[in-house]
A and B are shown apart, each in its own frame.
Chain A
Amino acid sequence: MRRFRQDETVDFLIVGSGAAGGVMAQELAQAGFTVLVLEQGPRLEAADFEHDEYKYFWQSSLNNRSDLQPTMFRAGPDEDFRRQQAVVYHRLVGGGSVMFTSNYWRFKPIDFNEASAMGTVPGTGLVDWPITYEELEPYYTKAEWDLGVSGTPGPFDPPRSRGYPTPPLPVKSGGVVFERGARALGLNPQPAPMAIISQAYKGRPGCLHCGYCSGFGCEHRAKSSTLFTTIPVAEATGRCEIRTGAYVRKVEIDRAGRTTGAVYFDQDKVERFQAARAVVLCANGAETPRLLLMSKSNQFADGLANSSGLVGKYLQFNGNASTSGVFEREMNNWKSVMVTRMIWDYYDTDPRRGFYGGGGIDSRFWGFPLFFATGGLPPGSPTWGHEFKRLLRHNYPRSMNADVHTTSLPVESNRIDLDPEGVDDWGLPMMRVTYKDHDDDLAIMKFLVDKAVEIMDAAGAVETWKPESLQQFVGYHLLGTCRMGNDATSSIVDKYHRTHDVRNLFICDGSSLVTGGRGQPTCTIQALAYRASEHIARFARRSEI
């Protein structure tokens, strides 16, 4: 791997090495440019990942920690802020692409023009994207084939120019009963597209079904994270360095209004400056707007690239809820990948339902032992003693979940901004999060939660249950906060991910999304990264940066 001198000016400085940053690094380095990636977290190799849920979930050893990087939260603009962890993202080379469940859904054409096709929703910022599905389709294909995805086209798939590089992962028992129940209701279940390869692909082995995907790194390298795919390719060019332990606090601007690089804290909390000819922010939909807001200057008094005043606004978490079922016979859903079957029958907004929104339902199992012991039994179950233990033992191999993943309307008051007083462990302003699900978001979640339970009941579940509350107060999908658009007064970046305000500053991550799709954004974030890097490289070659 290339090591740049501290005083060396690189062509591109990328902030964040996750789903988008890892792709951007490969594409720009392969295009012949020098690339330095600054990553907050450490670099782990496959052998470093453990099956230790307490370490990763309870201790937050690889995500933002609420003691070091605290956040303030309020459930809507009328409430007071309180200190609470409101966003979760992963801090390591590869970022969320290392730790995510690996659902890899494309968006569909309607996701890009829903406002004009279906009509706007009063009081929201639902608008069309500046690009179409057709424009992005080649990059979806590129992402799937470059990274490695398993699946097979289903009845509601968007048009695709090519199939999947590896076949679907083997169905689990939860997938079998889900499929049975869905078909009994006249629905159309299909294998879930997953960014986990089902057989050897591009030098990596197929999945060995350890069962530790969601929230864990893959010790077999079968999960197609940027850590195991694009980042090694980027480094092999000899033009890319991944610098870890680097926490960026400010994007610097010169008198001409061009970025000159970024100031960051190194792993010893020593402040350093890295010069670059252009900067690309891929820091996720929460940290990217926070960094812009922290990068105030005389020229950009309200934060960098924020002439519209919209940096941090239109935050979307996607809707998510988990329903549960217990079946008669043993399913052992704790084995293998989280998800093997899903439905997209309710993907589109249906005006007859009386509200905006749609989504999908998948069969899965939150079956890590401590997870199950602390929350896997039905409501009202004993919480200790012989019957508690008997139920744990009986239900564990017979349980499954059906999770729903839905739209979030872009609402301007849902936002990321800076706390005026509190600071994090580096002395930087704490992130504040304001988030309240729109009534239509809650309505589509409830609609699909009821459908999920119906599916399990139709499949012969002995017992099913669903969550009592659907309102969300912590976000894992961090979307929409620096949205794309053609109009500089209503968006942050243009259709090529260049900020409207700073010619050599680009943004590509979850913040770029105009709408959040139906709950699985990673595939689209990465397709955007492939597309954006192609355009950015073209601009650079033509000296148009």
Chain B
Amino acid sequence: MSLHPTRRDFLALGGASAITVWLGTDPRAFKRALDATRSAAEGHPVQFEVLTAEQAEDLEAIAAQIIPSDDDVPGAREAKAIVFIDRSLASFASGQLDQILEGLAELNGRVVARGGEATRFAQLRADDQVTLLIEIEDTPFFWRVRSSTLVGTFAHPNWGGNHEGTGYEILGFDPRFIWQPPFGEYDAEVRG
């Protein structure tokens, strides 16, 4: 199956991970999630709704390895993808909460099994985090966190993530929404 989602295979590609997850929800839950995440995006203190501070820290650390922060380009952490993840788990994606928490507990079990001082994923050094994630990168837990991280980073800021357009900055997308040609280098060349 193509990795590129056309309109037509979008539903099937995303079908398992997106449609069935996101559609079976109460629109009022979306509204509550939107209100909460807008509040967070506007700079109010983040009050996690379902995650403990430690769970949020661990999940954010995973998100920050999925889309890392570099010296000059921010990543999922700066996008506040964790805000989207928490709010969605508190509302329209509440059915995923158990799987996420169980997966996180299993991951932290691996951290403990390694020995050393760290007892949670977020406490590991970055290279050790990567090593652990490679171990679990084919699990449903990892793909669910990855999916939420991408939504929390690149979806419209309405949803709580993509803080201050971080996801747009990563791609080089400019959300001004009004343009005139030339749009790119090739059409500029033709236009002279």
> Taking beta carbons and an 8 Å cutoff, which residues of A are in contact with B?
50-55, 57-60, 65-67, 84-85, 88, 170-177, 208-212, 214-215, 317, 320-322, 324, 327, 329-336, 366, 369-379, 381, 383-386, 388-389, 392-393, 396-397, 401, 403, 465-469, 472-476
Contact = CB atoms under 8 A, between A and B. Distances in A.
B113 interface: no
A84 B179 contact: no
B133 interface: yes
A379 B3 contact: yes
Contact of B175 (A51, A59, A388): A51
B70 interface: yes
Given A322-B4, A388-B67, 13 more contacts: A208-B177, A210-B178, A214-B7, A215-B7, A329-B186, A333-B184, A334-B173, A369-B171, A375-B5, A379-B2, A388-B66, A389-B170, A465-B2
B14 interface: yes
A174 B190 CA distance: 12
22 contacts: A54-B159, A67-B23, A67-B24, A84-B12, A170-B181, A170-B183, A209-B183, A212-B177, A214-B7, A331-B185, A336-B183, A366-B4, A366-B5, A372-B154, A373-B153, A374-B14, A384-B146, A392-B170, A393-B171, A397-B172, A474-B9, A476-B7
B183 A335 contact: yes
A378 B2 CA distance: 9
Interface SS of chain A: helix, strand, loop or mixed? loop
A468 B19 contact: no
Given A54-B151, A384-B133, A468 B173 contact: no
Contacts of B22: 58-59
B188 to A, nearest CB: 8
A369 B187 contact: no
Contact of A322 (B6, B65, B168): B6
Contact of B8 (A212, A401, A472): A472
B67 A389 contact: yes
A103 to B, nearest CB: 12
Contacts of A175: 187
A338 to B, nearest CB: 11
B184 A467 contact: no
Interface in B11-53: 11-15, 18-20, 22-25, 30
Given A336-B183, A474-B8, A467 B2 contact: yes
A336 B73 contact: no
**Residue among B4, B5, B6, B7 with most chain A CB within 10 A:** B4
Contact of A51 (B133, B156, B184): B156
Nearest 10 CB-CB pairs, A to B?
A173-B184, A467-B2, A173-B186, A331-B184, A54-B155, A322-B6, A52-B156, A375-B5, A332-B184, A209-B179
B180 interface: yes
A467 B173 contact: no
B187 A322 contact: no
B192 to A, nearest CB: 12
Contact of B4 (A51, A54, A84, A376): A376
Nearest to A397: B172
B13 A375 contact: yes
A397 B184 contact: yes
B171 A172 contact: no
A389 B75 contact: yes
A211 B67 contact: no
Contacts of A374: 5, 14, 147, 150, 154
A211 B171 CA distance: 15
Contact of B23 (A59, A331, A335): A59
A465 B10 CA distance: 17
A66 B23 CA distance: 7
Contacts of A476: 7-8
B183 A332 contact: yes
Given A59-B30, A172-B183, A209 B178 contact: yes
A25 B11 CA distance: 32
Contacts of A210: 177-179
Contacts of B172: 393, 396-397
Contacts of A321: 6
A57 B158 contact: no
A370 B4 contact: no
Contacts of B171: 369, 372-373, 392-393, 396-397
Q: Among B24, B172, B190, which residue has the most Cβ atoms of chain A within 10 A? A: B172
A468 B12 CA distance: 14
* Most interface-central of A84, A332, A472, A473 (chain B CB within 10 A): A332
Interface string B134-150: 00010000000011001
Given A65-B23, A211-B179, A370-B155, A384 B66 contact: yes
A334 B158 CA distance: 20
A335 B179 contact: yes
Interface string B113-149: 0000000000000000010010001000000001100
Contact of B68 (A60, A332, A389, A465): A389
Contacts of B190: 171, 176
A474 B167 CA distance: 30
Given A369-B168, A396-B173, A84 B15 contact: yes
Contacts of A335: 179, 183-184
A518 to B, nearest CB: 16
